[in-house]
Structure formats: structure tokens, C-alpha cells
């Protein structure tokens, strides 16, 4: 997580931070896009990755490619 620093004279009273959810290690390259391409990519939130059947149907019907990153 990034740590933000402010000048000493900055008024922190009206400063808000939005916590970002942790992303999963799966990436969906949408509508015919492939890894390294310039198209749309989608990375779901951890724990909300579609199951194998849904990923397979997305590949057949929409041309989406799901890739799991090695961690």
C-alpha cells in the first residue's frame, strides 16, 4: 500500500482515503484481445473470479482469454 505524506501546514481534516480492494491473480483479456495487446483487460477482486465453466463459455461466446499470473 502506498503511504502518502503531506506538508506540515496541510489541513488533513478534509482528506479522505478510499481503500482499494485486493485484486486477484487472474486477468481477462476481453473481446479477442491477447496478452501484450492494446485491448481491454479486466482483473476481478480476489475471491470473485469466475469458475472454470464461466471462463470457458466467455472464451467460446465472447473471445475472452483468462490468464493466471504466477505468484
| Cα dihedral 15, 21, 25, 28 sign | negative
| Domain spans of the chain, in order of start | 26-68
pTM of this prediction?
Answer: 0.67
Find the Cα–Cα–Cα–Cα dihedral 43, 28, 52, 44, rounded to 10°.
Answer: 10
Residues 6+ apart with CB under 8 A from 23: 43, 44, 45, 46
Q: Give the pLDDT confidence of 11-42 residue by residue, as tens digits.
A: 666 667 788 899 999 999 999 888 888 889 99
Q: How far is CA 68 from CA 21, 52, 71, in A?
A: 18, 12, 9
Percent of the chain with pLDDT over 70: 83
- Quote the mean pLDDT of the chain: 86
pLDDT at 54 over 70: yes
Amino acid at each position: 500500500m502506498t503511504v502518502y505524506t503531506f506538508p506540515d501546514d496541510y489541513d488533513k481534516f478534509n482528506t479522505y482515503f478510499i481503500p482499494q480492494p485486493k485484486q486477484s491473480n487472474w486477468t481477462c483479456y476481453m473481446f479477442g484481445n491477447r496478452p501484450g495487446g492494446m485491448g481491454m483487460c479486466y482483473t476481478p477482486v480476489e475471491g470473485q473470479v469466475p469458475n472454470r465453466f464461466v471462463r470457458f463459455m466467455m472464451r467460446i461466446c465472447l473471445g475472452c482469454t483468462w490468464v493466471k499470473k504466477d505468484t
